[in-house]
Amino acid sequence: MSCHLLAVPFSLAGILLYFIARKRNDLKRVEYIQPLTTLLIIAVAALGFASENANDLYTIFILVGLTFSLIGDCWNVDMTDMETVIYGLIVFVFAYFTYPLAFTVMDGFHREDIIVGLICLALYAGLISYCWRGLKGMKVPGMIYGLVLFILISRAISTFFGDTFSTAQSILITAGTGMIFLGDVQFAIETFRKPPPPKLVIDLKVIGPILYAGGQLLIALSTSYFPGP
């Protein structure tokens, strides 16, 4: 078994415990299980240094992003408190901008990015319009955070167009960022769109923890799958 896989079962166990705590709204347990789970995911990413074709710069980028996420996890316990949400948004802007910065530094830009970028920009405008009234005093931070999210997913998709990342990495990166993206869009709709569409929006307590932590785990795993020379 590759060494980076050794920490995966512990991370999955942490995600399961985090899911249970969020589902039960047990904030006392969330307070320590949430950052502990991210610490386990950081361990998965750090083991990328030991992989056969390790790229230390990329691994450092991902570790920096996960460290910002860890700080955000210490804030984002009670997600019904708007002050908590604002602090979380600030920290996660840095976390979620670090990832696309890593993808771009490693792999650059490609012609296909124009099409992907335009699609993401249209979706971004649609989401902001959909939640606009409910954002109220959160309009500016919401717009900034939303833009970073769409940059994140567009740059993740871009990894398929270059030669730096393996196909396995591109799948992990895109699936991971996609899960984070869906989780945050879900949160935005449930929080800022009133009332949410009952047939389209699933209870955040059910899917949110899995999408967030699971997405981070997939991104962490991408540090260990660089192609050989």
* Full pLDDT tens readout for the chain, 229 residues: 477 788 899 999 999 999 998 888 888 899 999 999 999 999 999 999 998 889 999 999 999 999 999 999 988 777 778 788 888 889 999 999 999 999 999 999 999 999 999 999 999 999 999 998 888 888 999 999 999 999 999 999 999 999 999 999 999 999 999 999 999 988 888 888 766 666 555 565 568 888 999 999 999 999 999 987 7
Q: Give me the pLDDT at residue 17, please.
A: 93
Residue 12 maps to a domain: yes
What average pLDDT does the structure give for the chain? 90
Decide if 71 is inside a domain. yes
Give dist(CA 88, CA 10) in Å, integer: 25
Do the domain assignments include residue 50?
yes
Q: Is residue 229 part of a domain?
A: no
* Distance separating alpha carbons of residues 101 and 109, to the nearest angstrom: 11
pTM of the model as a whole: 0.92
pLDDT at 77: 74
The pLDDT assigned to 222 comes to 97
Can you give the pLDDT at residue 161?
96
Give domain status of residue 91, yes or no.
yes
In tens, the pLDDT along 149-159 reads 999 999 999 99
pLDDT of residue 87: 86
| Angstrom distance (rounded) from CA 91 to CA 76 | 10
48 closest CA partner among 37, 36, 58, 39: 58
Distance of CA 209 to the CA centre of its chain: 11
Contact assessment for residue 99 and residue 152, using Cβ atoms and an 8 Å cutoff: yes
**SS3 of residue 52 by DSSP:** coil
- Per-residue tokens: 102: 């890593």
Whether 148 maps to a domain, the answer reads yes
Domain count, the chain: 1
Task: State which residues form the domain around 108.
Answer: 3-224
64 part of a folded domain: yes
**Within a domain: 100:** yes
